[in-house]
Amino acid sequence: MKAFIATIYFPILSLKQPLAFQVADTNLLPSPSSLRGALAKSLAYFYQNFFNGSDFQSLIEKWLRKIESVVPYVTAKPETMIIKGTVILSRLRTLEQRGRAEPRDAMRRGITFLQKIKACYIVDEKQAKKELGEDALEKIKHSLWNMDRVGDTESLISVSEVLGPLSLKLLGTEGDVNTVTNYDLAGTLDGPLIDNMDFIMTYEATGKNKDVKKPKYSRTHFLPLFAEKIGKFVIYKPKEYRVRTKRDVIRKTKTYIYQIEDIKLVAGDIS
C-alpha cells in the first residue's frame, strides 16, 4: 500500500447528508466517498475509452467500483476551524420540469465554511497496476492535482500540494487519530463528534421495484473536531480523538492505526 496526501482549499463545502430531503443539511467535512469520487472523476480523463458504450450509467458505476478497489481507504484531516450555515437555493429545472410555466425549485441547503483540509488516499499498488496500468501511481498523482470539486456543484476546490507515493508507518491498534474514521473500522475511547456520511444501497423489500437499489442506511463516522460556542456562533475546531481498531468486516481484514507525515488514520492491514 502507498499513500498520497492532497492539500485542498475550499471557499465553501456543501455536501448533502445521506437521505436528507427538502432541508438538505451538510456534512462538516468531506466524506470518504466524495473524496474518492473527486479522484475518480479526474482520473477518468486518462481512460476515456473505458466509457465507450450505450449504457453510460452502468459504465460509471463499474468505474467507481474499480477505483474503490484501487483506493480502498480515504480520509480527511481538517487544518482550520469550521463554521456551518445555510442558504436558500432557487434553481432552474428545465429538463426535469418542462411542463411547468416556471420550472424552478427552492430548498434550504447547508453550507460549511471550510478553508483547508488534507485528504489522504491509501492506494493498493498491486491492484492499481492491474486495473490502471504500470504507470497507475503517476496518473493518480496527476489526477489529484487536477481535482476541481468535492461534493455538490457549489463546492469548488483548489489543490495546492500533492505528496506521494508515501509509505505508511504502523502505530498499533489503540491510539490517537486526527482524521475521519468509519465506525466499522474502529470504536472511540472518548467523545469525538459524530456525523452520518455516505450511505448503503439496498434492494426494496416489497413493491414493484425489488430489482432497484436505493439509498437506505447511512454510515456513522467519527470526526476529529470539537464544538465551541462563541457568541451566537458554533465554531468547530480540529482535535485528535482516541480509538481502538476493529476488524473490517467488508474487506475481511484487521485494522490498524497508521501515520503518514502528520496524518494519523485507521485502515486495513497493509502487509
Domains of the chain plus CATH, in order, are 2-268 (3.30.70)
Angle between helical axes of 56-70 and 125-132 (0-180°, round to 10): 150
Q: What is the pLDDT of residue 132?
A: 95
Q: What is the pLDDT of residue 14?
A: 82
pTM surpassing 0.85? yes
Compute the radius of gyration of the chain from its Cα atoms: 19
- The backbone torsions φ and ψ at residue 93, rounded to the nearest 5 degrees and listed phi first, read -120, 60
Q: What is the pLDDT of residue 46?
A: 93
Q: What is the pLDDT of residue 239?
A: 96
- Give average pLDDT by consecutive 10-residue segment, the chain, 271 residues: 96 75 78 93 92 85 92 96 77 52 60 94 96 96 96 88 96 97 91 80 53 61 94 92 89 92 93 67
